[in-house]
Structure 1
Amino acid sequence: MIIVPEREIAGLMTREAAFDAVEKVFAAMASGDAYNFPVIREAIGHEDALYGFKGGFDKAGLTLGLKAGGYWPNNLEKRGLINHQSTVFLFDPDTGKARAMVGGNLLTALRTAAASSVSIRHLARQDAKVIGMIGAGHQAKFQLRAALEQRDFQKVIGWNLHPEMLSNLQEVADEAGLPFEPVELDGMRDADVIISITSSFDAILGADQVGPGTHIACMGTDTKGKQEVDPQLLKKATVFTDEIAQSVSIGEAQHAVAQGLISESDISQLGAVINKTHPGRRSDDEITLFDGTGVGLQDLAVAAAVVDLAVEKGIAIEVDF
């Protein structure tokens, strides 16, 4: 079995490689060549932690496995560790033998950012100039860096429940040589693209706080009960997702579906746009929304790419198992 520890991931996986892996797996999902297993995600009753498993099988890429991990909200304050902790396990689809164990923390951040970035490439207006961020935590920096590569953005605006954290967004904007402006939520009407990346259980962004032609990537809702935007916004928008079953059960769409504002048939896979079996955006005034629930196949795709790179560079740890 091959082991690629967390400390090696930064030197192996790039944003570009993560984007390519996630885009390909979304396309495979939409064409029926890959599928995700049901998600298990539970509050364990210890340290306020959420723990679970996401897995799947990509028949095209012959990638089989799962990611185990979750969210420990006290990690940073108590232990100096990031709150999201995970490990990816890959198995040989021909024999069932364990193939690899890969550190999943940075990979999770990169693949989550890649997913919203893929949605921006395929759904945002070509002339998008202002990007708005809702949320300014650890993951927000990854989201913003990846998103800025998809359009010729000229300004970053941001909102966070705790304004002192907006310095994270300012840092990334400075790196890109772009101006950054903190705004109230009403200020998001000026954004051409909005990324929400929070752990909220209450709607933050209202339907009337989004202008015509905006593309929104909702990336924080991945558990039953979580919510980042007003369900009325999904009624106004053309809704896309990574996995429809997850979107209606644990994603942002769960609330709009429960309230009867939209139905499952109103949601399309982003992979269908990539495969050109769905036209995607139809007009410059259309609001598009990507419900990024986070699927196991994303984790497996980036982990498999890392294993190949680790072997190629001679830094993979091999053990008998």
Structure 2
Amino acid sequence: MIVIPEHLVERLFTAEAAFEAVEAVFAAMSRREAENFPVVRDMIGHADAVYGIKSGFDRAGLALGLKAGGYWPGNAEKGLTNHQSAVLLFDADTGRPSAIVSGNHLTAMRTAAASAVSIRYLARPDARVLGMVGAGHQAAFQMRAALRQRHFEKVVGWNLHPEMLPGLAAVAQAEGVAFEAVELDRLGAEADVIITITSSFAPILLAEHVKPGTHIAAMGTDTRGKQELDPGLVAAASVFTDEVAQSISIGECQHAVAAGLVLAEDIGEIGAVVTGAAAGRRSLEEITLFDGTGVALQDLAGAAKVVELARDAGPLVSVDL
């Protein structure tokens, strides 16, 4: 079994590699060539942590396995990333464990790639202002990936703890884009694309904040009870997701569905837009929403891509179980 540590994942799993892996697996899901298995994810009653196991099989890419890990909110005080995980891959022909891949950087990159795919396929072509709601560790990855998809000239940002925004401003500066900290009403008035990436359990972005034509990538809600958007905003948008079953159970759409404002059959798959089987944005005035719940197949596709790149890079650490 190959062991790929975090530092090697950080070196090999570039934004381009992540986008390629996630776009391909979304398409495979739409063609019903890949399946996510039921998710186990909940609070563990210790350290305020959320822990989960996600698994699945991509028959197109022969990626079979699982990711285990979660969110430990106190890790930052210990000098650690809040998200901690690892991916275990199995040989699809024999069932033998084939690789274990550190999942921290991989998760950040594949999550950012998912929102980037949604921006490429759903945002207006003339989008010029990017709005960032959230300024934690994942926000920097989200911003960098988004900036590759349109010719953004400015980033406007808001965070519940505004003292964290200078870190986001530094990322924008490094990318050569102007940054301004603003209130939510102004963020919505200016932004053509909005990424929400928080750990909120109450709605932050409201319908009155968002102008016509906006694309929203809601990336923070991945657990029962979490919420970033007003259900009325979800209902006002054309909604797409990575997987409908997760969207209505642990994703942003769980609240709008529970309120009877959105039906499961109203939610489209981003993979169908990627393959051309379904339309994406239908007008310049339409509000589009991507509910990024984070599916196992993204992790497996990313890990398989890292293994492929690692094999080409040189000698690998291998262990016998």
| TM-score under structure 2 length normalisation | 0.99
What's the counterpart of residue 287 of structure 1? 287
One-letter amino acid of the structure 1 residue matched with residue 121 of structure 2: H
Who is 2:53 aligned against? 53
Take 2:168 and 2:49, find their aligned partners in 1: how far apart are those partners? 27
Indicate conservation of the 8 Å contact 1:41/1:50, yes or no.
yes
Instruction: Give the structure 1 partner of residue 152 of structure 2.
Output: 153
TM-score (norm 1): 0.99
* SS of alignment partner, residue 153 of structure 1: coil
Amino acid in the other structure paired with 1:253: C
Is 1:164 paired with 2:163?
Answer: yes
Aligned CA-pair RMSD: 0.7
Q: Counterparts of 2:214 and 2:45 in 1: how far apart (Å)?
A: 40
Deviations 1:126-168 (A, max 9, x none): 0000000000000000000000000000110000000010112
Q: Residue 258 of structure 1 aligns with which residue? A: 258
Question: Partners in 2 of 1:277 and 1:210 — Cα distance?
Answer: 28
Residue identity opposite 2:88 in structure 1: F
1:75–1:83 contact (8 Å) kept in structure 2: yes
- Moved runs in structure 1, 4+ residues, more than 6 A? none
- 1:131 matched to which residue of 2? 130
Deviation at 1:185, TM superposition (A): 0.7
Aligned-pair identity in percent equals 65
- CA distance in structure 2 between the partners assigned to 1:144 and 1:168 by the alignment: 12
In structure 2, the gaps of 5 or more residues are none
Say if 1:307 and 1:316, in contact at 8 Å, map to a contact too.
no
Write the distance in 1 (CA, Å) between the matches of 2:140 and 2:278.
30
1:42 alignment partner, SS class: strand
1:47 positional shift: 1.0
* CA displacement 1:24-53 (0-9 Å, x = unmatched): 000000110001011101211111111110
Shift of residue 315, structure 1, vs aligned partner: 3.7
Matches within 5 A, 1:78-97: 79-97=78-96
> Aligned letter for 1:4?
I
Instruction: Name the SS for the 2:115 alignment partner.
Output: helix
* Partner of residue 31, structure 1: 31
Measured in 2, the distance between the counterparts of 1:200 and 1:18 equals 26
1:189, 1:261 → 2: CA distance? 24
Q: Deviations over 1:209-245 (max 9, x none)?
A: 0000000000000000000010001111000000000
How many residue pairs align between the two structures?
320
Measure, in 2, the Cα distance between the counterparts of 1:258 and 1:85: 30
Structure 1 residues 8-29: Cα deviation after superposition (integer angstroms, max 9, x where no partner): 1111110000000000000000
Structure 1 unmatched ranges of 5 or more: none
CA deviation map 1:45-102 (0-9, x unaligned) = 111111110110001001100000001111111x211110000000011111100000
